[in-house]
Structure 1
């Protein structure tokens, strides 16, 4: 895995990280007391959060298999990838195409450190510690240019990350910027946390904004997420609760009536 010219990051383990909280919810060990305390507070507002994380991870595996196998995609750009865990994007894709290439992007420096260690033996992957809003910086980075070829369709993944962006950062505009840089025939995967319960939307948004020092956006409504993808071709079954997106034996069943859900789908650009 190429490391480019990035310097070693400084870790702040006293402030919760979305990536490390997600790791804890998935049953991982790459998290700290601050992350676990924040997850405890989150579970008080939304008790189904652990189930939601597992459902989301199962969706990621399914959608990558679909893009690699059914759509022939061999290069992936994973925005907000989080900490390496079982069945990372490159592992799923490379079971189908041994030459599949993946660039992971996350702004948590601990993700970079763990990614460098765990993916060092795989030169078809790279991990960038970068802000997902910096599209040109990401796509012009030497490691991304090594892996993501301009003339080949790419799958750009925004899986459970757009809720980390506040409205002022315009998630819809971010998706357009990325789409404008990708080759024809590319795909984009988008899912984000939504809730019909205003108490959950406001409670989680306030909790996460406070816990992460403002590195959080907003739990949104389905209608808001739908507008992010206006004008693009949505693949069947459209925008749905993600456990119902082309379910298979890897399904984590989502119960009706949970406080919130991951809602998204896949578009062809």
Structure 2
């Protein structure tokens, strides 16, 4: 399903709606799923009414909110292409991979180097079912069921240890994940990322995207979206400032253009259209370990 690398097709989230009656037994249609809500924002069909309720609620406050998902996905694609083409990285740990859509991580990097290995991590039942079906014929990919906010346990997973060579550099991807962390106040998102970073081999890369409070005239839009996300049945979606997001990289060497709105990170061409408020409220960056 080829699409331009800089933009993904987005249609109305309520078109091609999936009926709750058709949901498999392992899907809980009474509670929204982060992966399915994201799918709904991208105009996918692997979501249910409870997920679409979240989308409609946030759209009432900020109609262009779906651009958060679009910008995040386009940033993932460009980041993977950069890592595959420019760094020599051939191993990827994609945390919170979500439901398969156009241009997944393994498709981008294996187009550059077919021997690239990708381990996806998620614990959403729908993601596990769809992902394993997609990957079953690709020997260089794997999908493991772990909580991405428990890095110590995840990093000891047998498949994570065996599929990736931990004596060689690895690219760690946390795309649109950390703003959904709702864990104990005694362990911050910075602490979680430190656990991952400390485990990475020398010369590895870390890529993060996250909801952003730009602390300018668009801050009000960011906080409107945050209020809707946090008070929805999903209950997560925190917007953070640039200094707060910079802490997630724990002092690593940032790759130019550093931490910027996702659409500004190595765009594929001139940006002729001015960004809307939502597009200014998600940031991304890539950094290298020493």
TM-score (norm 1): 0.89
Q: How many angstroms does 1:245 deviate by?
A: 0.7
d(CA) in 2 for partners of 1:252, 1:105: 36
d(CA) in 2 for partners of 1:115, 1:131: 16
Query: Which region of structure 1 is more displaced relative to structure 2, 246-255 or 193-202?
Result: 246-255
* Correspondence for 2:60: 44
d(CA) in 2 for partners of 1:185, 1:204: 36
Any idea what the Cα deviations from partners look like across 1:1-48, whole Å, max 9, x if unmatched? xxxxxxx99321221111111111112111111111110111112222
d(CA) in 2 for partners of 1:32, 1:250: 37
d(CA) in 2 for partners of 1:252, 1:41: 30
Q: How many angstroms does 1:206 deviate by?
A: 3.8
Whether 1:32 aligns to 2:48 is yes
Query: Which region of structure 1 is more displaced relative to structure 2, 143-152 or 91-100?
Result: 143-152
d(CA) in 2 for partners of 1:122, 1:252: 38
Query: Which consecutive unaligned segments of at least 5 residues does structure 2 have?
Result: 1-23
- Number of equivalences: 261
Whether 1:183 aligns to 2:201 is yes
* Correspondence for 2:144: 128
* Correspondence for 1:53: 69
d(CA) in 2 for partners of 1:252, 1:76: 33
Q: How many angstroms does 1:253 deviate by?
A: 5.7
d(CA) in 2 for partners of 1:251, 1:95: 26
Whether 1:265 aligns to 2:281 is no
* Correspondence for 1:3: none
d(CA) in 2 for partners of 1:266, 1:177: 17
Query: Which region of structure 1 is more displaced relative to structure 2, 25-34 or 161-170?
Result: 161-170
Whether 1:204 aligns to 2:242 is no
d(CA) in 1 for partners of 2:272, 2:124: 27
Query: Which region of structure 1 is more displaced relative to structure 2, 192-201 or 71-80?
Result: 192-201
Alignment of 1:95-244 (within 5 A): 95-166=111-182, 168=185, 169-195=187-213, 196=215, 197=218, 199-212=220-233, 214=235, 216-244=236-264
Three-state SS of the structure 2 residue aligned to 1:211 is coil
Q: How many angstroms does 1:175 deviate by?
A: 0.9
Change (3 A) 1:252 1:16: farther
TM-score (norm 2): 0.83
* Correspondence for 1:94: 110
> Higher RCO, 1 or 2 (CA under 8 Å, sep at least 6)?
1
8 Å contact 2:172–2:205 — kept in the other structure?
A: yes
